[in-house]
Every structure is written in C-alpha cells, then in structure tokens.
Structure 1
C-alpha cells in the first residue's frame, strides 16, 4: 500500500529533526569554545588597567585564549594517548585526569615569571616600538593558533612551541627584516625535528626490550614481575622526581644538578618501597601470561600520564600566555625587558583554556597517538610514557634541542617498530620483493610460491601504520615555516589597522 502524503511529510519532519539534532551536537564544542573566548574578553576588560593600549591587551587576551584551546586539543594528546590506547583509561577518565593535572600544573607550577619568547629569537639591538612588539606577539599567537588548529583538524600532533617560534620569526621578519632574527636559534629548532623522534623512539624501544628480556620471556613471568616491576616503578618515580624538579617547577625553583640527582634517588627509593608489597600481593595466584603480567603496569601507566600532564601544564602554558604577559607588561609599564611578571588572571585563562580545549577537541588526537599508529597495551604504553619523560630529562641536562611532542610520538613509533621486528623475526627472506637489495642465497625460498607466501605474510605483519609517520613528519617540518608565513601575513594585516 502506497504511503499517504502526510506519512511522507511526517517522515521528512523526523529526518529533519534527526539532522538538526546531529548538527546541534556537532556544533556544541565550537559553541562552548566561543563562550570561553567571550568570557576571556569580558575577564580581560575588567582586569586590564585603563590606558591607550588597553584595547590591544583585550584583543591579545582573546587570541591567547584561542591558543590555549588549541594547545589542549593537540599537545595534551601526546601524554594521554598511550594510556587510552592501552585501555588503561577510558576516554572520559583520561580527559578528567588530564584536565585536572594540566590546570593544576599551570596554576601551581606555572610560576610568577616567564621569559619573553622574543628575547631568544629577535636580535637585542633591534629597535622596535612598544606597539610594534605588541603586534609581533599578537601576530605570532594568532598564526600559531591557526596552524595548530589546522593540524588538529587533520589529526597531526605538532609542537606548539615550534608553532609559536615560527610565528615570532615570521612577524619579526615582517616588522624589521631578516637581520632582526637570531637564525642559529632557528637552526637548533630545525635539528630537533630529527633528534627528538629518534631519541624518543630509541629510548622507548630499549625500555620495551628490557621488559621483554627481564619479564615477558621468562618461564615464570609472575615471579620475574615480582622482582622487576618494583624496579621499573622505582625508576619511574625517580625519573619523574627529577623531571618535576628540573621542568615541572622550573618557573619557581632551579635546583643544582646534584640536588636534582639526590631528589631522583630519594624518589626511586620511595617508589620501590611502595611498589614491592603492592606487586607481591597481586602476583599471588596470577596466571603465567603476558596479559596478566601487563595488568601490573596499569596503575604505573596512569600515574605516569598524570605526572606528564602536570609537567606539561606547568611548562607549555607559557606558549599561550607568555606573549600575552609580555603584551600586558608593555601596555602597562612601557616595556617587557628580559622577563615579565605573569598576572594570575593571565595564567588562569591559559590553564582553563588548555583544560577546556582538551575536553572539547582532544579525543581526536588522543585516538591518533594511542590507537592509530600502532597497537598499545599497558606495558608498551608505560614504556612510551616513561621514555618520553626520561628523554626530555636527558636532553635538558645536555642542552639538546628537543620537542616533547616529537619525543612522545617517536616513542610510540619506537615500540611499534620493535614489536614489528620481534613479530617478523624468523621469517624467511622475501626473495621476490622489489624492496630487496642484498640477499643471502642460503636464505632464499625454495619455490616461487613459497617466496610469494612469505612476502605476503611479512606484509601482514606490518604493525606500524607508515602513512601516519609520513603525514606527521611532513607536519613537523612545515610547522615553523607555515606559522612564520601566517604570522607575516597577519602582521601586515594588523599594520593596516594599528599604527606601529
């Protein structure tokens, strides 16, 4: 029986309601972000002292709030991705822990003083007026935020620090020419594109190999775990104690090297004492399997991701509010100098923006880092988190230019490629593969059919998605020049409206 006209109309109404519901749900996150930006505008309007440049501070506050949202949406995924990918945390639990720890790190350890980014990138003798410096900072913030936003949309984790650096370079060149930039600093940043992922991947692969040798390849895995898991926990606590002393509270306290080492040793001892009875109680009657042993790493992994988020909030909030603090200082005091005081309201906007950006837009990048590069479990996720903190600590001690984003993503690739190597070990030579160059004749397959079968078997054992490595690597390389170009365009556009 044919449907009546009213039935067809009712069906269309139902479809329209469903489409409207889906559209409203999709628009909820941008809508809440817009509310936050408007709230930041109102907050700044009441917090900024009246003056001839106060309107610039209000505009810069909105831009900084937008940048903070993008830092939360992109950068934080590097910390929470391994825990979510390993199923140690649900997405909701990861968002809650990260939001609390990021905001706490920014507010408690963000510090009272930040070094202006322009000091390390713009030649000190360059003569720039107060309004010009404000425009450079505003252009750098807006350009870097736009680039990080684009990277988040396409699912590429990028370094927000590099984006801000590129923004300052581009706006500085637009304002004062190429001679105004300290190019060796830019060169060291470019070097980190290679150094960071290689260090992170190598450290994570080495740590996973140690866990495999000491626990997973032993005949009695629970007993081996009872000996070695407390050691790994002790190493984790010691490393994070040193990490927090050097990086997490760097705005408040800069201890000497021997003090940092002592803090690490004390933390390691406390970690071992706390972990030993906890592990002993859980290995009683435990099944002799990798999966059961892996559950012992779940709580340390959660703890590691929480500490990473705290340290990240303490350090990377400066990417959003550091330039804003310089703008506030210039507008109110006439200059920024080498360092500027960081008002509490500025710090709070950065902290809230990072937490909100994570909650609204973070799941996409968290899934990319935690699930789409390679399969993670509790042990691999733990190796990623611990190696990321360890690599940053070592690089900081030796003054190597590294990016925490590149290190964390490189660590995920490192454990994936090591796992792939273990999985493919023992397969016969591919023989017929066009990729083969140096072939040992004693490893050749007996028949063409066997060669083809082994080739396809090896192809199926590719456990790392190569396309993500290519897309992320391209995004990393493009970040500084892309942000620089955007910042130059934004600066020239601002110059049409504001008189330097």
Structure 2
C-alpha cells in the first residue's frame, strides 16, 4: 500500500511545489504593481489638490457672477472674487499653520484632528467677527475717493489681490510662514501708489498697522514666556504638582471661556446678534461664563489627574484639553482677523457697486463675500496646510503640551484684542513670536542653571559630584531654538511687504495696458 501511494505522493508534492512557486511569483508581481500604484498616487496627489483648488475658484466665480456681477463693474467683481478665493486658499495653506502647529508639535492633536478643528473655527471666526478688520483693510489704507476719481480703483484692488496672492503662494512653496496681512497690505499699497502715487496712501493708518507688526511678535513672545514662567512657578516646579495643576488648569480654562464670550458678544455682526450690548453687560456675561467653565473644569481635571505620578512629565495629559481649547480660540481669532486679507479688496468693489461710490462711512458687506474668504481659508488648510504645520510645531523648538498651551493662549488673547480694535495684526507674527519666546525663555533658564553650575564647580573641591556645567561650545550646540529657522522667518517677514507691493504695482501696470475692467 505504501509503495503504491509513493509515486502519487511524489507527483502531488512536485505539483504543489510548482504551484507554490507560481503563486510566489504572482505575489511578488502584485507587490511590485501595488508599489507602482502607490507611487503613482503619491505623485498625483499635488495634482488632486490643485484640481480641487481650481474647482473652488470656479465656484467662487459663479457665486460672484450670480450675486454681485450683474451691474456696473461686474467684471471687476468677478475677477476680484476669483483672486480673493485664490488668496484665501493661500492663507489657509500658509497662515493657519501658526494656529495648529503648537498643538500638533506637542502631540495633543493628530494632523487630521487639527485640520478639522481649525477649519471649523476659522470659518466661524471669519463669518461671525471678521467684518471690522475687513472694513479697516478695504477703506483705511488708501484714499479711496482719490483713487476712484482716476477710474483706477477696480484695477488697483484686483492688482493688490494678484500681487499679494502670488507672493504668499511663492512663500508657501518655499516653506516660509510669512504674514498674509503684510502681503495684502503691501499689495494695496503698491497698487494704490501705482495708480495715483504715494499721496493716495493714508500714511497715519499704515503707520499704526506697521507699529502693530513690530510690537505683535514681541507681545506674543513676552506673553507666552510670561505664561510659561507662571506655570513653572505655580505648577511645574512645586512640591505637589498634581494639586497645583488641579487648582490652576481650571482657572486657565475659565479665563479663556470668559474672555472669548465677552469678545463674541461685543464684536458679533448684526446678522449674528442684532442687538447692541453695553460693555458692562458683556463683561458681566464673560465673568459668569468664565465662572461656569471654571466650575465645570474642576471635576474633569480632577478625574484626569487620578493615578498620575507627582512629576512634570506626568502633567502633560492635564494640559491637552486647555491646549485644544486655546488652539480653537486662536483659530477663531485668526479667522476674524485674517479673512480681510482675502476679501477686503473684493468687499470694497462690492460696496462701490452697491453704493454708487466710496463715500459711505462703512462697507455694507454681503454675507457671500465673507463666505468666500472663510471657505477658501478652510479649503487651503485641508489641501496644503500640513507642511507648514509640521514646520511651526516641530522644527523651530521642541514643544510639549504646557509650552504649546502658553503659545496658543498668548497668541489668541493678543489677536482677539487686535480684532476687537479693528487692527489687522499679523497672526503669523504673534504666534511665531510666541514660539520663539518660549524657546528663548527656556534657553535663558538653561543658561542661568549653567552659570550656577559653573560657580558651584569653581567653589567645590576637585572630584565633587555637584551639578555639571557644559563647555561654551557644547552649550551653543544644545540651543533650544534653531537659529537657521529664526533668521529665515525674520528675513521673510522683512521682505514680504515690499515684495508684495512690487508685484501688485507691476500687476497694475500690466492690467492697465491690457484692458481696464469696467
């Protein structure tokens, strides 16, 4: 029996081995095809993003054509809507990285969650509270009547959008987080100067805005460093760190909730809240909401802190919720402040068409204009934002949840204050200033410890096991802020306004030669 089965078993075994060899070859071929397919999809991803961006611009053109492009100057409005949508996409790709970079760099949010949160609050900020800054940018920089008297106002606004958007697009491609506020104001200045000369610029307003650009990064750095110093003093370097965190983290959450409520009630547009509320009432409402948020956060933080060790590293989970709230608040503030960078020239053209001139004291802003800016910022963030989010969050200085919370909270407070005053500060300047402020503060503390260690070593006997001081060369190598990124970002800030102004002036001259838009 065994002898009769042996030939069959041998032939079956050879057949099985041959089939396995064939299947192995097929598997390897399928693996190669899968690898090629993945590579092709990776190469086609930028084309997909560009295609979706182009579809959004076309949609903005259709909206403008149906709602604002039917009367005199309709072609200019449609063109400005396309360029405004393009500028909004660039703002989302470049500027919003500053809002979510700290949260992603600290590990509090994954990239997808950060993008979804930012898109939601950016849109809410732009739609609810973006009208004041839009008015400043659209009417406060140029002497609109003087520009309009030459018949060049539509071309100037279109050239301003074109020059600023091209510059921000180039900066995004170079991975430089430039200020879109500087870009659009530089574009308006360049186009206006090309149209009527430097006399058409309202220099006092420009001077106030420019002083904000200088002071805002310093304010962001000082505020973030001060909040970090407070946390180190009251929470991170105390004997009972868990008890300190239970006491102070709810206070910080209450402060954020109260200040945001007061701001929202004070600056909401008529379509959102058609009632004028006295400042005392908004302050009391903010106080009540802050107290409620503080009381509600106490059991949450207490529950999260159970079982945690009494050391600094164990406190990171307790700062995750405050950091997410601060990042959301900063995104709202950014949407309220920076939507003007995309649609303020478009708003001015729409106002000119509706009012028959530029003599009105305010811009009667249609909802669809702000919607184009809000949707474009969110779309640009989703399609092109992750690269700069990684740069801001991970490549300038090392962040953890407490440090990232200090940056986001400081930036949100400063930008909300500027938005309430109608002042178009640069969210980029404030947030990057906060990142550098935290990094330089930690460098200063490290340097102070090193000096103390050197003094202790000098006073101690040889072979003492006291604190060890690193040599000067080693301390330079261990710097906590990367100087290359610092210098690159500062250089990008300095060149943004003149570059955008030059591009806008050139665009104006080209447009005037080709065909004035009526």
* TM-score category (smaller protein): 0.7 to 0.9
Equivalent residue in structure 2 for 1:314, among 328, 332, 336: 336
Q: Aligned-pair distance for 1:35?
A: 1.6
Equivalent residue in structure 2 for 1:362, among 374, 385, 392: 385
Match of 2:349 in 1: 327
Cα 1:453–1:305 change in 2 (3 A) is closer
Q: Aligned-pair distance for 1:461?
A: 2.3
- Tell me if the contact between 2:180 and 2:426 (Cα under 8 Å) persists in the aligned partners: no
Segments of structure 2 that go 5 or more residues without pairing to the other structure are 1-29, 463-467
Q: Supply the distance in 2 between the matched residues of 1:493 and 1:282 (Cα, whole angstroms).
A: 61
Match of 1:498 in 2: 515
Q: Supply the distance in 1 between the matched residues of 2:336 and 2:424 (Cα, whole angstroms).
A: 19
Q: Secondary structure at the match of 1:218?
A: coil
Q: Supply the distance in 2 between the matched residues of 1:111 and 1:118 (Cα, whole angstroms).
A: 10
Q: Supply the distance in 2 between the matched residues of 1:453 and 1:112 (Cα, whole angstroms).
A: 52
Farther off after superposition, 124-133 or 325-334:
124-133
Cα offsets for 1:440-481 (capped at 9, x unmatched): xx79xx9xxxx9961233123201111112111111122221
Equivalent residue in structure 2 for 1:392, among 383, 390, 415: 415
Match of 2:441 in 1: 418
2:91 matches 1:92: no
Match of 2:253 in 1: 233
Equivalent residue in structure 2 for 1:137, among 157, 161, 164: 157
Q: Supply the distance in 1 between the matched residues of 2:160 and 2:237 (Cα, whole angstroms).
A: 51
Alignment of 1:56-455 (within 5 A): 56-110=76-130, 114-115=134-135, 117-123=137-143, 126=146, 128-129=148-149, 131-246=151-266, 256-336=278-358, 337-393=360-416, 402-428=425-451, 454-455=471-472
Cα offsets for 1:372-429 (capped at 9, x unmatched): 1111111111111111122335567899884332111111111111122223333249
Q: Supply the distance in 1 between the matched residues of 2:171 and 2:133 (Cα, whole angstroms).
A: 30
Match of 2:485 in 1: 468
Segments of structure 1 that go 5 or more residues without pairing to the other structure are 1-9, 432-438
Q: Supply the distance in 2 between the matched residues of 1:273 and 1:452 (Cα, whole angstroms).
A: 45
Cα 1:393–1:31 change in 2 (3 A) is closer
Q: Aligned-pair distance for 1:251?
A: 9.0
How many residues are treated as equivalent by the alignment?
Answer: 480
- Tell me if the contact between 1:329 and 1:340 (Cα under 8 Å) persists in the aligned partners: yes
Q: TM-score normalised to the size of structure 2?
A: 0.83
Q: TM-score normalised to the size of structure 1?
A: 0.86
Equivalent residue in structure 1 for 2:58, among 38, 46, 71: 38
Q: Supply the distance in 2 between the matched residues of 1:152 and 1:299 (Cα, whole angstroms).
A: 30
Q: Supply the distance in 1 between the matched residues of 2:165 and 2:440 (Cα, whole angstroms).
A: 32
**Which structure has the greater CA radius of gyration?**
2
Q: Supply the distance in 2 between the matched residues of 1:107 and 1:423 (Cα, whole angstroms).
A: 44
- Tell me if the contact between 2:122 and 2:336 (Cα under 8 Å) persists in the aligned partners: yes
Q: Aligned-pair distance for 1:88?
A: 0.5
RMSD: 3.4
Q: Supply the distance in 2 between the matched residues of 1:248 and 1:408 (Cα, whole angstroms).
A: 24
Cα 1:462–1:234 change in 2 (3 A) is same
Q: Aligned-pair distance for 1:15?
A: 9.0
Cα offsets for 1:22-77 (capped at 9, x unmatched): 32123221121112112222333333353353222211111111011011112211
Cα 1:269–1:456 change in 2 (3 A) is same
- Tell me if the contact between 1:81 and 1:368 (Cα under 8 Å) persists in the aligned partners: yes
Q: Aligned-pair distance for 1:260?
A: 4.3
